[in-house]
Chain A
Amino acid sequence: MPGKAVLSGVHFMNGDEAIAEGALAAGCRFFAAYPITPQSEIAERLAARLPRIGGVFIQMEDELAAMAAVVGAAWGGDKAMTATSGPGFSLMMENLGLAVMTETPCVVANVQRAGPSTGLPTAVGQGDMMQARWGSHGHYELIALCPYSPQEAFDLTVRAFALAERFRSPVLIMTDEVVGHMYEKVEIPAEVVEARRRTPQVPPEGFLPYKPDEDLVPPMACAGEGYRIHVTGLTHDERGYPDMSADAQDRLVRRLCEKIKRYPDEYTLWEEHSLEDADVAVISYGISARVALGAVELARKKGIKAGLLRLITTWPFPNEVVRSLAERVQGMVTVEINLGQMSREVERAVQGKVPLGGVYHAGGRIHRPEEVLAGIEEVI
Chain B
Amino acid sequence: MPVKEKKQAPPPEIAQGRHPMEKYLRTDRIPHIWCAGCGLGTTVSSFLYAMDNLGLDPDSVAVISGIGCTGRVAGYVRMDSYHTTHGRPIPFATGLKLAKPDMKAVVFSGDGDLFAIGGNHFIHAARRNLDINVICVNNLNYGMTGGQAGPTTPLGGRCTTSPYGNFEHPFNLVYLAASAGAPYVARWTSLDVRRLQRAIEEMLVRKGFAFLEIIAPCPTNYGRRNKLGEGLDELRYYAEHAVIEHGADPADTEILPGKDFLVGKFVDEEEPTYWEMYQDKVAELEGGRR
Contact = CB atoms under 8 A, between A and B. Distances in A.
Interface of A: 2-4, 29-30, 32, 51-56, 58, 60-62, 64-66, 68-78, 80, 94-95, 97-98, 222-234, 239, 241-242
A336 B102 CA distance: 48
A229 B63 CA distance: 11
Contact of A51 (B94, B120, B288): B288
B285 interface: yes
Which 8 A-B pairs give the minimum distances between C-beta atoms?
A76-B99, A3-B287, A72-B95, A73-B95, A69-B95, A65-B91, A68-B91, A72-B92
Given A60-B94, A60-B124, A223-B80, 15 more contacts: A30-B98, A55-B290, A56-B98, A60-B91, A65-B88, A68-B85, A72-B97, A74-B95, A222-B100, A227-B80, A230-B74, A230-B81, A231-B81, A233-B85, A241-B29
Interface of B: 26, 28-29, 58-60, 62, 64, 74-75, 78-85, 87-88, 90-100, 102-103, 120-121, 124, 278, 281-282, 285-290
Given A51-B288, A68-B84, A58 B94 contact: yes
Contacts of A227: 80
Nearest to B95: A72
Residue with the greatest number of chain A CB neighbours at <10 A, chosen from B58, B78, B282:
B282
B82 A58 contact: no
Contacts of B121: 61, 64-65, 68
Contacts of A239: 28
Contacts of A72: 64, 82, 84, 91-97, 99
Contacts of B278: 51, 56
A97 to B, nearest CB: 8
A223 B62 contact: yes
A74 B26 CA distance: 24
Contact of B124 (A29, A51, A65): A65
A222 B95 CA distance: 13
B85 A98 contact: yes
A224 B60 contact: yes
A239 B92 CA distance: 21
Contact of B98 (A2, A76, A222): A76
A329 to B, nearest CB: 45
26 contacts: A3-B287, A53-B287, A54-B289, A58-B94, A61-B121, A65-B91, A65-B94, A65-B124, A69-B98, A72-B91, A74-B99, A75-B80, A75-B95, A75-B96, A78-B95, A95-B84, A97-B85, A98-B85, A228-B58, A228-B78, A228-B81, A232-B75, A233-B84, A241-B28, A241-B29, A242-B75
B99 A233 contact: no
Contacts of B287: 2-4, 52-53
B100 A224 contact: yes
Contacts of B99: 29-30, 56, 72-78, 80, 223
Given A73-B95, A77-B100, A230 B120 contact: no
Contact of A231 (B82, B90, B93, B102): B82
Contacts of A70: 95
Contacts of B91: 32, 60-61, 64-66, 68-69, 72
A94 B92 CA distance: 13
Given A52-B285, A65-B91, A73 B81 contact: no
A155 B289 CA distance: 27
A65 B60 CA distance: 24
Residue with the greatest number of chain A CB neighbours at <10 A, chosen from B88, B90, B97:
B88
B288 A52 contact: yes
A69 B80 contact: no
Residue with the greatest number of chain B CB neighbours at <10 A, chosen from A2, A228, A234:
A228
Contacts of A74: 95, 99
A229 B26 CA distance: 10
Nearest to B82: A231
Contacts of B100: 76-77, 222-224
B65 to A, nearest CB: 9
B194 to A, nearest CB: 27
Contacts of B92: 68-69, 71-72
A296 B87 CA distance: 50
A227 B79 CA distance: 8
A160 B91 CA distance: 23
A124 B90 CA distance: 34
Residue with the greatest number of chain B CB neighbours at <10 A, chosen from A232, A241, A242:
A232
Residue with the greatest number of chain B CB neighbours at <10 A, chosen from A66, A98, A223, A242:
A223
A230 B83 CA distance: 8
A60 B285 CA distance: 23
B289 A228 contact: no
A120 B81 CA distance: 42
Contacts of B281: 51
Given A64-B91, A76-B96, A223-B103, A3 B288 contact: yes
A358 B185 CA distance: 60
Nearest to B103: A224
B82 to A, nearest CB: 5
A94 B96 CA distance: 18
Contacts of A68: 84-85, 88, 91-92, 94-95, 121
Residue with the greatest number of chain A CB neighbours at <10 A, chosen from B58, B85, B102:
B85
Residue with the greatest number of chain B CB neighbours at <10 A, chosen from A64, A76, A229, A241:
A76
A69 B29 CA distance: 28
B26 to A, nearest CB: 7
Contacts of A64: 87-88, 91, 121
Given A56-B98, A73-B96, A230-B81, A224 B26 contact: no
Contacts of A66: 91
A142 to B, nearest CB: 17
A157 B129 CA distance: 32
A298 B131 CA distance: 60
B124 to A, nearest CB: 4
Given A54-B290, A224-B62, A231 B285 contact: no
